[in-house]
Amino acid sequence: MLPPNIDTNIDSISELDFSIKRLGKPYIESGLKDVIFVDDTENISYCADNAINQRLIDAGKKVPAFLAAGPRRKLYHDAPWSRAAIVTCGGLCPGLNNVIKALVNTLWYIYGVDNIYGIQYGLAGLVSGSGLSPVYLNPDIVDDIHVQGGTILGASRGEQSSEEIVRTLDRLNINMLFMIGGDGTQRAAHEIALLALERGVQVSVIGIPKTIDNDLNFMDKTFGFESAVEATSSIISCAHNEAKGYYNGIGLIRLMGRDSGFIAASASLANSMVNFCLIPEVELVLHGDNGLLRALEKRMESKHHAVVVVAEGAGQHLMSSEKQRDKSGNILHNDIGVFLRDEIRRHFAERKIEVNVKYFDPSYEIRSIPANGMDSIFCLHLAQHAVHAAMAGMTDLVVGNWHGYFTYVPSTLATSARRKIDPHGQLWQSVLLTTRQKTYLE
């Protein structure tokens, strides 16, 4: 969704480099049959409004556009001589095994690559001294892994030496590396791709976007997000039942969303029992006449129950303890769920008002489930387009989805900033209309 200052935004984006790096000129005829090949001149415009694009052209500016994803007529890598590696990094997310399976099947059945290896426990499996060896993968091994949550390869956080990883890839003769992960993983992929090019190591480094928070830049959605939103529905219903089952009951649910509130906002729309949705993009005011605590008082006076959904990154300014970072360098937020639970109880106790707070934190339950049907299809498409890019010798990219089309996004663009909810945009305005929380907050 484009921000209100669309002209300024498009002008600045038109100056960005959307080009995709390549290992060299593709020269091998693709043996694919009955497919529609995509030419390298085919692009997907960043802005769907042709009037704005025309205005840029008239002003002599470049129209920002992504390279369209899909199979190419000419390949760079020779399938019988190719060796592919797959790695899953960061936290768990619905669909990881779906992507692994689709990568293996596309490499094996579509292109004839039969040397495929899984890297164990993230990038740690590519550094010496870890005691971790690559595992061989084929269609039989991955046949039913899509019905399982998690990842059969294991995952990990933490920074590893790009120098050592490139040396390992060279030593193992890996010429295609598929990195499944979020912004930290894709930044690492960018470093590995650049270093490999600098060292003359012929490896296509292709990123597949995995972030349950749906916060990677320059793409409409990432896999696992829809499954996560679907999984929240029964939890919100339980919280609603608990809230209505007690006098002045409050069901409080903490959901994922470190810097972006897409899961909390979408869950609130998917299950309209939510009365208050709190996200990182909108400042949380706790005290005062327009604060959340006073709003809950008003809600108890009129309805005697409420359901509150809060994203994990909301209200961090309310907690003063020192921030720490995880092994990937991400800031570890303070627990807003527990903080709100205790503040609500304290507030009502001081006013001698009975309240029954029921607290839910389903984060691990949600992220470790298998992917739902729509996410499974999305995972398949992402994996297929990742293999198409790798076989054509592309590198340093993330497979994206924009305006309903699959695209190839330079890794630097995908990780340039966290995608966030626009408080003036349609999604958040729909949340406000559905929850009607402003009637209590104003």
The string of pLDDT tens digits covering residues 81-98 is 999 999 999 999 999 999
- Return the minimum-mean-pLDDT range out of 206-220, 268-282, 313-327: 313-327
Active site residue 213: yes
Q: How many CB atoms lie within 10 A of CB 247?
A: 11
201: closest CA among 126, 110, 131? Answer: 126
In a domain, 94, yes or no: yes
Total domains present in the chain: 2
Cα separation values, 417 from 62, 215, 216, 291, 413, Å: 22, 9, 8, 30, 8
| Domain range for 109 | 6-223+371-414
Q: What CA–CA distance (Å, rounded) separates 280 from 422?
A: 11
Q: What CA–CA distance (Å, rounded) separates 60 from 14?
A: 11
State mean pLDDT over 423-439.
Answer: 96
């990154």: which residue's tokens? 313
Of 368, 403, 428, the one marking the end of a domain is: 368
Q: Check whether 328 has a pLDDT greater than 60.
A: no
Same domain, 358 and 386: no
Q: Check whether 146 has a pLDDT greater than 80.
A: yes
Same domain, 201 and 258: no
The pLDDT of residue 131: 86
The pLDDT of residue 4: 40
In a domain, 126, yes or no: yes
Q: What CA–CA distance (Å, rounded) separates 260 from 219?
A: 14
Q: What CA–CA distance (Å, rounded) separates 163 from 186?
A: 16
Cα separation values, 48 from 17, 65, 116, 405, 408, Å: 18, 10, 38, 11, 17
Tokens of 274: 């939510």
Say if strands 405-410 and 397-402 run parallel, antiparallel, or are unpaired: antiparallel
The pLDDT of residue 361: 96
Same domain, 245 and 146: no
Same domain, 177 and 41: yes
**Residue tagged active-site, from 183, 213, 215, 375:** 213
Structure confidence at residue 323 as a pLDDT band (50, 70, 90) = low
Q: What CA–CA distance (Å, rounded) separates 436 from 99?
A: 39
Q: What CA–CA distance (Å, rounded) separates 226 from 207?
A: 20
Same domain, 211 and 347: no
In this predicted model, what pLDDT tens digit does every residue of 107-139 receive, in sequence order? 999 999 999 999 999 999 999 888 899 999 999
State mean pLDDT over 406-420.
Answer: 94
In a domain, 442, yes or no: no
């498009």: which residue's tokens? 10
Structure confidence at residue 273 as a pLDDT band (50, 70, 90) = very high
**What percent of the chain has a predicted confidence (pLDDT) above 90?**
82
The pLDDT of residue 331: 62
Q: Check whether 390 has a pLDDT greater than 90.
A: yes
Same domain, 363 and 384: no
Q: Label each residue of the chain as H, E or C.
A: CCCCCHHHHHHHHCCCCCCCEECCCCCEECCCCCCCCCCCCCEEECCCCHHHHHHHHHCCCCCCEEEECCCCCEECCCHHHCCEEEEECCCCCCCHHHHHHHHHHHHHHHHCCCCEEEECCHHHHHCCCCCCCCEEECCCCCCCHHHCCCCCCCCCCCCCCHHHHHHHHHHCCCCEEEEEECHHHHHHHHHHHHHHHHHCCCCEEEEEEECCCCCCCCCCCCECHHHHHHHHHHHHHHHHHHHHCCCCEEEEEEECCCCCCHHHHHHHHHCCCCCEEECCCCCCCCCCCCCHHHHHHHHHHHCCEEEEEEECCCCHHHCCCCCEECCCCCEECCCHHHHHHHHHHHHHHHCCCCCEEEEECCHHHHHCCCCCHHHHHHHHHHHHHHHHHHHCCEECEEEEEECCEEEEEEHHHHCCCCCCCCCCCHHHHHHHHHHCCHHHHC
In a domain, 252, yes or no: yes
Structure confidence at residue 324 as a pLDDT band (50, 70, 90) = low
Q: Check whether 285 has a pLDDT greater than 80.
A: yes
Same domain, 91 and 208: yes
Same domain, 360 and 376: no
Q: Check whether 334 has a pLDDT greater than 60.
A: yes
Q: Label each residue of 259-303 as H, E or C.
A: CCCHHHHHHHHHCCCCCEEECCCCCCCCCCCCCHHHHHHHHHHHC
The pLDDT of residue 55: 83
Residue 43's CATH number: 3.40.50.450
In this predicted model, what pLDDT tens digit does every residue of 98-114 receive, in sequence order? 999 999 999 999 999 99
153, 145 contact by CB (below 8 A): no
State mean pLDDT over 428-435.
Answer: 97
Residue 307's CATH number: 3.40.50.460
In a domain, 436, yes or no: no
The pLDDT of residue 1: 40
The pLDDT of residue 6: 44
In a domain, 433, yes or no: no
Tokens of 255: 């959901």
Same domain, 351 and 385: no
Q: What CA–CA distance (Å, rounded) separates 296 from 303?
A: 10
Same domain, 240 and 286: yes
Tokens of 441: 């907050």
In this predicted model, what pLDDT tens digit does every residue of 13-23 receive, in sequence order? 878 899 999 99
**What percent of the chain has a predicted confidence (pLDDT) above 70?**
95
The pLDDT of residue 329: 57
State mean pLDDT over 380-400.
Answer: 98
Q: What CA–CA distance (Å, rounded) separates 235 from 385?
A: 34
């398949």: which residue's tokens? 380
**188: Cβ contacts below 8 Å, ≥ 6 apart:** 89, 123, 159, 160, 162, 179, 181
In a domain, 1, yes or no: no
Q: Check whether 5 has a pLDDT greater than 60.
A: no
In a domain, 26, yes or no: yes
Same domain, 219 and 337: no
- Return the minimum-mean-pLDDT range out of 40-49, 90-99, 192-201: 40-49
Structure confidence at residue 326 as a pLDDT band (50, 70, 90) = low
Q: What CA–CA distance (Å, rounded) separates 194 from 328?
A: 20
Tokens of 215: 């916060």
In this predicted model, what pLDDT tens digit does every residue of 149-187 receive, in sequence order? 999 999 988 788 999 999 999 999 999 999 999 999 999
Same domain, 235 and 202: no
Q: Check whether 355 has a pLDDT greater than 70.
A: yes
The pLDDT of residue 3: 42
Residue 213's region, left for phi above 0, alpha for psi from -120 to 50, else beta, is alpha
Mean pLDDT, the chain, as a whole number?
A: 93
